[in-house]
Structure 1
Amino acid sequence: MEEDATPPGKPRARPAVAVLCRGPVEPLVFLGNFALVLQGPLTTQYLWHRFSADLGYNGTRDRESCSNHSVDPTMQEVETLTSHWTLYMNVGGFLVGLFTSTLLGAWSDRVGRRPLLVLASLGLLVQALVSTFVVQLELHVGYFVLGRILCALLGDFNGLLAASFASVADVSSSHSRTFRMALLEACIGVAGTLASLLGGHWLRAQGYANPFWLALALLIVMTLYAAFCFGETVKEPKSTRLFTLCHHRAIVQLYVAPAPEKSRKHLALYSLAIFVVVTVHFGAQDILTIYEMSSPLCWDSKLIGYGSAAQHLPYLTSLLGLRLLQYCLADAWVAEIGLAFNILGMVVFAFATITPLMFTGYGLLFLSLVITPIIRAKLSKLVSKSELGALFSAVACVNSLGMLVASGIFNSLYPATLNFMKGFPFLLGAGLLFIPAILIGTLEKIDPHLEFQQFPESP
């Protein structure tokens, strides 16, 4: 057998993996988020009803009974336990994901995007499997935390997003990148809307177990697609060790290493902006289901499904709004408009005591999700193509940190403010959103025509 002629110390080219077709990354994001959203509100409701059964509370069986128990201490205990266990799951996932998502993202710059997509898909599959057994066999709810940790070990949904956004940046031009990333986020929204509508009705008709089985089946399909159908976007993947500090060092160098073609100030401030946006987004998302189930709204599973669908609809409306507004406004000012509507929606949530007002708040969020694809596109123009995986793993790390801070603040603040103002966390979120609004506006005004490194246009 002939020896490989690769010079010592130079990474060897990784053998090409046989694929059935060269498919895009969007189906992976769609299937992954569909399965996650199908499980998310159902997990919260399952925790609620498990704790209700343990504590002998039956105030959620009908809306009239619920609304007559607005000061029931048992209901507040159920809310507190549900909120705290949601926090435990998020903290467990973050502490593990903080290490793995940064490691795997930078690793994908060398070995290609497919290995990370496969690992992240397997992680989501393991989490769904554990959750299905918890619901089917009525195991201790602590196993939800175990499933979350196992998922984080393999990259989690943040790892999937890091590889997906990096693959889009690999093949898109600098001019089309913002819209392409918004299109990828629209896949998240469409999947979330459909899963929310299906989950609420299905739970009402057949209980908790069957939706979890569907999520499990979809994630099996997703894993097979990642392994055999995704078209690799890294042109020359190379075999590289996974467990080495060089991957983490690549992320640190993004922010500390000087380079004439990038602005460390813009990298840091845009990262801070996306951190605050993610913190508010996921913080509100964590408590919305509990907020809607409890008095005075007292929503049932059907209304919760509609609410969750409305929560994901801005992924699609933001895509359409971005496309239209880009004809007359710079991306930064489109983001400012999105932030303004996001703030208004959060204020309405804070004072919503009736169902129509709650859906008015959801309606005001129709442009709220133009912010993250704009910031991601701006960040991707600050680094070279060989650093895209490291960049988006850094963004995934920022996302994970935002989710942890969101859980810590919102899931702790919500039970602490039940006695004087249930909607106070939403007011806090509205106030925090002024931070990215100021940062984005300031960066645009200080240097509105700054030309970052331009990549060769994709054919």
Structure 2
Amino acid sequence: MESDKTIATNNNPSPARRSWRSRLIVEPLTVTFMLAYGLLVTIRVEYLNKRLSEEANFTQPSTNTSVVCSLNTSSEEYDRYLEVQTQTSYWTLYLAVAQSIPALFSANFLGALSDARGRRIAMLFPIVGFAIYSIVYALVAQFHWSLYILFAGAIPLGLCGDFLTLVACSFAYVADTTTSKQRTYRMVILECLTTLGAGAGQVLVGFMIEAIGYPPVYYAILCIMVLCTLYVYLLPESHPSVTGKVPGEQPADIVPSPRSDFNMAKFFRSLADLFRPDPKGRCWKMISYNYILFQSILMIVSFLSTNVLFAEGEPFCWSAALIGIFNGLTFIFAGLGLVVGGYVLRLFFSDHCTMQISMLSFVACLVMTAYSKTNVVLFCGE
């Protein structure tokens, strides 16, 4: 009888105590990463404007841009100001394209890689990309290197998937580790934290530029990326193909072993098969989805960057701190609109119709911003 109890105990061992690392969730990583992204959105345009002003012998005011609005429109100084704004716009566009085009291809690779090898490895790519980006920009700002070196930061960032890859992996992580009842609630929380993190970074960056200058802000971003890397290392893997668990179960293995049957050559072949023509039109759908992704990244980067130049000029003449607050509110209201408006619209419209309504609202925002002449109208447009 005693031996039977022993066998039963061995066959049904009591559940082991969960490690504190197994209780970690992905939300702190996402909000911290988006805080760093919010810092980058404004500072890169501000720095370009500063450097191009120096090269054009145009003196930018240190704390308040209202000096620009006091320039005589027929003066040579005003012509230099217009030239600086034009060159800054061009540089912003070139860097945005250099960042967006590689992301068009890397996003597919990293998405498939996360399904095959787990979420954590895919999360590390954009973190490394942002670390390289911040190092390059910090060195250029500190040692006044050529602006062309900035492409050495923008291109690797795109190749690493940009910020959307980490955000997408975070949502996938939540889907892997929650039940159907928990999933919607956690998704909403994650979406709110994503926009709040980026918005907080936007608000902080203006005050940081005025207080400590450009290089320290880039080094602060690098430190944030180091913290994110450490958190990813501690974060348990979530994907069922790696953990062997079904979605909704708490991951038990802190550092699980990758799938032993994974074959890199087969992985690339299956990825290429997605773009091969087939009777169902999958190839064209994939091309269309990638084009939409490319346009989305390009519009987000370009719109937020253009806002900085637009608010610095006439008739607004905003300071860096006020521009940061403005861009921060843009992120926050966009997140609230996505959570509240997206939920309400989907009660009455299909997904495609909801997407079209969101596009029309963005067009309306662009039109209001373009024709804004007062601060109130500009804020209402956002």
* TM-score (norm. length: structure 2): 0.76
Counting only pairs closer than 5 Å after superposition, residues 47-446 of structure 1 correspond to structure 2 as 47-58=48-59, 60-61=61-62, 62-69=64-71, 70=73, 72-171=78-177, 181-236=187-242, 237-239=258-260, 240-242=262-264, 244=265, 246-247=267-268, 249-250=270-271, 252-253=273-274, 256-257=277-278, 279-322=298-341, 325=344, 328-330=347-349, 332=351, 334-335=354-355, 337-362=357-382
Q: Percent identity?
A: 24
Q: Distance in 1 between matches of 2:24 and 2:237?
A: 5
Matching residue of 1:27: 28
Q: Which amino acid aligns with 1:298?
A: C
8 Å Cα contact 2:103/2:294 also seen in 1: no
8 Å Cα contact 1:106/1:251 also seen in 2: no
**Structure 1 residues 335 and 171, CA, compared in 2 at 3 Å: closer, same or farther?**
farther
Q: Which amino acid aligns with 1:291?
A: F
Q: Which amino acid aligns with 2:29?
A: L
Q: Which amino acid aligns with 2:67?
A: S
Task: Return 23-32 or 114-123, whichever deviates more.
Answer: 23-32
CA shift digits 1:400-429 (9 cap, x unpaired): xxxxxxxxxxxxxxxxxxxxxxxxxxxxxx
Secondary structure in 2 aligned to 1:295? Answer: coil
Unaligned runs of 5+ in 1: 1-17, 363-459
Q: Which amino acid aligns with 1:297?
A: F
Matching residue of 2:254: none
How far residue 41 of structure 1 moved from its aligned partner, in angstroms, is 0.7
**Structure 1 residues 263 and 317, CA, compared in 2 at 3 Å: closer, same or farther?**
same
Q: Distance in 2 between matches of 1:43 and 1:75?
A: 18
8 Å Cα contact 1:118/1:227 also seen in 2: no
Question: How many correspondences in the alignment?
Answer: 342
How far residue 80 of structure 1 moved from its aligned partner, in angstroms, is 2.0
How far residue 19 of structure 1 moved from its aligned partner, in angstroms, is 9.1
CA shift digits 1:111-133 (9 cap, x unpaired): 11111112322222222222222
How far residue 214 of structure 1 moved from its aligned partner, in angstroms, is 1.8
* TM-score (norm. length: structure 1): 0.65
Which structure has the bigger radius of gyration? 2
**Structure 1 residues 139 and 280, CA, compared in 2 at 3 Å: closer, same or farther?**
closer
Secondary structure in 2 aligned to 1:139? Answer: coil
Unaligned runs of 5+ in 2: 1-18, 243-257
Q: Distance in 2 between matches of 1:137 and 1:199?
A: 21
Q: Distance in 2 between matches of 1:174 and 1:256?
A: 35
CA shift digits 1:179-205 (9 cap, x unpaired): 655543322210111111111112122
How far residue 49 of structure 1 moved from its aligned partner, in angstroms, is 0.8
How far residue 258 of structure 1 moved from its aligned partner, in angstroms, is 6.0
How far residue 103 of structure 1 moved from its aligned partner, in angstroms, is 2.1
Secondary structure in 2 aligned to 1:313? Answer: helix
Secondary structure in 1 aligned to 2:96? Answer: helix
RMSD over aligned CA atoms reads: 3.4
